[in-house]
């Protein structure tokens, strides 16, 4: 019996055996998982097409598209340019024939798309985790305050649209006292739906900015764009359209990643521009996380508790990400992996705790680091603190459970923050901002 995960291997092997005389072949996997092969030649040049198609279909079992559709020439495709000129095509192998994959997915396509920018419009950090409850939002709320205390103008954005958390940590919400209620009128979900019709502009951006109360004398500031604001209406209806891509008048598709990039641009070009942005993405392998981690030119901080379920989930993600066109052999400076850092969430404070965390992170990253027969001078070493697998610890602190950061008189005590984030703030700041983000 052929399973879903077998079908690509079968089609790739078939291409090498039977279609090696062509420059390249394209595997097309549909929404169900059925696989067909397209060859960029005329029907006349693929004279034995009928025989090839029946044979491949038989090999693929339930994942064959049909005896007449398994192998197709250019002439048989309705829109051949969508296959042979696809920017979504992934190179699976080079020998004995070049094989590309065009994968039809309902969601999660951004994981394997090229970044829109190699660098975000302003230094941008993304908080990402595969599981909730790991302190991701709390860490970024605390980091926002730390950066403001250093004099930065911080833009914090709650991208967890289905379970917002960052906004409640940073913005005072008092509906019965509008003067003390720090929430703005609108939020991210409004930016997304208004942008679909060309109305995501600087006026809307300013109406999305909530303000955070800071201790007297703080040299910087924090402004927050929540998932929704005081005047947001029809939230569920908007949420159902938030990830919908639309075609612009210029013929370019505009999806979630493009909309968030425009939001960051608005933060950079306003009269009083922000100099750092913190984005709190949704937990799990969701479209939000995919776009934020891979497409914005941001630095992604990947939160992981040291447990088997978390590392298994990251192994699945890394196995998928290795096909990204932004992951290149040799890890050049533009490589996506340099814009990723593991975070040891709720870490223990002993040396042994850290060694276990580092060992498991390094093991998971072997699925995303380059495959090499023999170690080379550039091979990532487990002890190399500059590599993405080296975890930045956030230490467990019971006092942070249920903590809020919207009241300067009732926030976590400095000794608690120092205990939990003494290593994270410095190292994360250096990776995001260079020396200006470090306390050293």
User: Does residue 118 lie in a domain region?
Assistant: no
Question: Mean pLDDT, the chain, as a whole number?
Answer: 92
Tell me the pLDDT tens digit for each residue of 154-187: 999 999 999 999 999 999 988 787 778 899 999 9
Phi, psi of 155 (to 5 degrees): -105, 115
Query: In this structure, are 308 and 243 located in the same domain?
Result: yes
pLDDT greater than 80 at residue 350: yes
Tell whether omega for the bond before 96 is within 30 degrees of 0, i.e. cis: yes
User: Does residue 112 lie in a domain region?
Assistant: no
Helices (H) and strands (E) in the chain, counts: 14, 15
Beta strands 98-103; 71-73: pairing state: unpaired
pLDDT greater than 60 at residue 440: no
Please give the average per-residue pLDDT across 122-133, as a whole number. 95
Tell me the pLDDT tens digit for each residue of 20-67: 889 899 999 998 999 999 999 998 888 899 999 999 999 999 999 999
Q: Which pLDDT belongs to residue 199?
A: 92
Q: Which residues contact 414 (CB under 8 A, 6 or more apart)?
A: none
Q: Which pLDDT belongs to residue 434?
A: 84
User: Does residue 418 lie in a domain region?
Assistant: yes
Calpha distance 286→289 (Å, rounded): 5
Query: In this structure, are 21 and 84 located in the same domain?
Result: yes
Q: Which pLDDT belongs to residue 416?
A: 95
Query: In this structure, are 149 and 253 located in the same domain?
Result: yes
Q: Which pLDDT belongs to residue 438?
A: 58
Boundary of a domain, candidates 103, 134, 149: 103
Q: Which pLDDT belongs to residue 374?
A: 64
Tell me the pLDDT tens digit for each residue of 304-336: 999 999 999 999 999 999 989 999 999 999 999
pLDDT greater than 60 at residue 347: yes
Q: Which pLDDT belongs to residue 337?
A: 97
pLDDT class of 414 with cuts at 50, 70, 90: very high
DSSP letter string, 25-69: EEEEE-TT--EEEEESS-TTT-TTHHHHHHHHHHHHGGG---TTT
Query: In this structure, are 363 and 404 located in the same domain?
Result: yes
Tell me the pLDDT tens digit for each residue of 204-251: 999 999 999 999 999 999 999 999 999 999 999 999 888 888 877 777
User: Does residue 111 lie in a domain region?
Assistant: no
Cα angle, residue 270 at apex, residues 266 and 271 outer, rounded to 5°: 180
Q: Which pLDDT belongs to residue 192?
A: 95
Please give the structure tokens belonging to residue 117: 């920018």
pLDDT greater than 70 at residue 435: no
Q: Which residues contact 133 (CB under 8 A, 6 or more apart)?
A: none
Boundary of a domain, candidates 103, 138, 154: 103
Q: Which pLDDT belongs to residue 125?
A: 98
pLDDT greater than 70 at residue 376: no
User: Does residue 273 lie in a domain region?
Assistant: yes
Tell me the pLDDT tens digit for each residue of 251-290: 777 889 999 999 999 999 999 999 999 999 988 888 899 9
Q: Which pLDDT belongs to residue 120?
A: 97
What is the total count of domains within the chain? 2
Instruction: Name the 3-class secondary structure at 145.
Output: helix
Calpha distance 402→157 (Å, rounded): 20
Cα angle, residue 426 at apex, residues 425 and 431 outer, rounded to 5°: 100
Query: In this structure, are 14 and 52 located in the same domain?
Result: yes
- Taking alpha carbons only, the member of 220, 222, 93, 59 closest to residue 155 is 222
CB-based burial, 396-427: b 16+ in 10 Å, e otherwise: bbeebeebebbeeeebbeeebbebbbebbbbb
Query: In this structure, are 214 and 300 located in the same domain?
Result: yes
Task: Please give the share of the chain, as a percent, with pLDDT higher than 90.
Answer: 73
Could you identify the residue written with the tokens 């004279």? Answer: 47
Query: In this structure, are 91 and 146 located in the same domain?
Result: no
Q: Which pLDDT belongs to residue 339?
A: 97
User: Does residue 332 lie in a domain region?
Assistant: yes
pLDDT greater than 60 at residue 436: no
Q: Which pLDDT belongs to residue 200?
A: 94
Q: In 105-190, which ranges are E strands?
A: 124-129, 153-158
Q: What is the C-alpha radius of gyration for the chain, rounded to an integer number of angstroms?
A: 24
Domain enclosing residue 46, as ranges: 4-103
- Taking alpha carbons only, the member of 348, 357, 406 closest to residue 382 is 357
Query: In this structure, are 99 and 135 located in the same domain?
Result: no
Q: Which residues contact 75 (CB under 8 A, 6 or more apart)?
A: 42, 43
Q: What pTM was computed for the model?
A: 0.86
- DSSP annotation of 73: E
Instruction: Name the 3-class secondary structure at 260.
Output: helix
Query: In this structure, are 183 and 53 located in the same domain?
Result: no
Query: In this structure, are 128 and 219 located in the same domain?
Result: yes
CB 57 within 8 A of CB 64: yes
Query: In this structure, are 62 and 178 located in the same domain?
Result: no
Residue 299 to residues 272, 292, 435, Cα–Cα distance (Å): 23, 9, 16
Chain-centroid distance of CA 358 in Å reads 22
Cα angle, residue 280 at apex, residues 276 and 283 outer, rounded to 5°: 155
Instruction: Name the 3-class secondary structure at 96.
Output: coil
User: Does residue 110 lie in a domain region?
Assistant: no
Please give the structure tokens belonging to residue 359: 């060992």
pLDDT class of 196 with cuts at 50, 70, 90: confident
Q: Which pLDDT belongs to residue 375?
A: 62
User: Does residue 8 lie in a domain region?
Assistant: yes
Please give the average per-residue pLDDT across 336-352, as a whole number. 95
Task: Please give the share of the chain, as a percent, with pLDDT higher than 70.
Answer: 97
Phi, psi of 38 (to 5 degrees): -115, 135
CATH code: domain of residue 380: 3.40.50.300
Query: In this structure, are 94 and 136 located in the same domain?
Result: no
pLDDT greater than 70 at residue 107: no
Q: Which pLDDT belongs to residue 109?
A: 79
Please give the structure tokens belonging to residue 127: 């908080």
Calpha distance 342→230 (Å, rounded): 35
């Amino acid at each position: 019996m052929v399973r879903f995960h077998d079908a690509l291997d079968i089609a790739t092997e078939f291409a090498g055996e039977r279609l090696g005389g062509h420059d390249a072949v394209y595997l097309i996997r549909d929404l169900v998982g059925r696989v067909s092969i397209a060859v960029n030649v005329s029907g006349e040049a693929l004279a034995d097409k009928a025989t090839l198609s029946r044979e491949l279909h038989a090999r693929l079992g339930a994942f064959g598209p049909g005896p007449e559709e398994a192998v197709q020439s250019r002439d048989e495709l309705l829109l051949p340019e969508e296959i042979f000129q696809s920017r979504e095509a992934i190179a699976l192998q080079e020998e004995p024939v070049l094989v590309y994959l065009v994968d039809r997915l309902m969601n999660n396509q951004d994981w394997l798309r090229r970044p829109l920018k190699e660098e975000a419009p302003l230094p941008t950090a993304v908080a990402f985790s595969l599981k909730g409850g790991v302190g991701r939002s709390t860490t970024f709320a605390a980091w926002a305050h730390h950066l403001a205390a250093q004099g930065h103008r911080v833009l914090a954005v709650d991208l967890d649209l289905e379970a917002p958390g960052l906004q409640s940590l940073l913005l005072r919400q008092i509906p019965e006292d509008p003067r003390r209620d720090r929430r703005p009128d609108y939020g991210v979900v409004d930016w997304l739906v208004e942008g679909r019709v060309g109305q995501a502009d600087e006026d809307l951006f300013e109406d999305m900015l909530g303000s955070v109360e800071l201790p007297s004398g703080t040299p910087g500031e924090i402004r927050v764009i929540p998932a929704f604001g005081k005047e947001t209406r029809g939230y569920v209806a908007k949420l159902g359209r938030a990830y919908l891509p639309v075609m612009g008048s210029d013929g370019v598709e505009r999806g979630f990643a493009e909309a968030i990039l425009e939001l960051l641009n608005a933060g950079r070009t306003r009269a009083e521009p922000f100099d750092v942005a913190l984005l709190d993405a949704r937990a799990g392998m969701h479209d939000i996380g995919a776009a934020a981690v891979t497409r914005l030119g941001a630095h992604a901080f990947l939160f992981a508790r040291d447990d088997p379920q978390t590392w298994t989930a990251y192994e699945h993600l890394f196995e998928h990400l290795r096909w990204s066109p932004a992951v290149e052999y040799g890890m050049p400076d533009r490589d996506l992996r340099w814009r990723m850092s593991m975070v040891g969430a709720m870490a223990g404070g002993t040396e042994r705790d850290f060694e276990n965390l580092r060992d498991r992170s390094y093991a998971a990253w072997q699925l995303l680091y380059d495959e090499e027969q023999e170690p080379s001078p550039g091979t990532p070493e487990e002890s190399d603190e500059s590599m993405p697998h080296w975890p930045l610890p956030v230490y467990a602190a019971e006092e942070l459970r249920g903590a809020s950061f919207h009241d300067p008189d009732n926030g976590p005590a400095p000794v608690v923050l120092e205990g939990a984030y003494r290593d994270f703030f410095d190292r994360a700041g250096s990776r995001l901002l260079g020396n200006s983000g470090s306390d050293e």
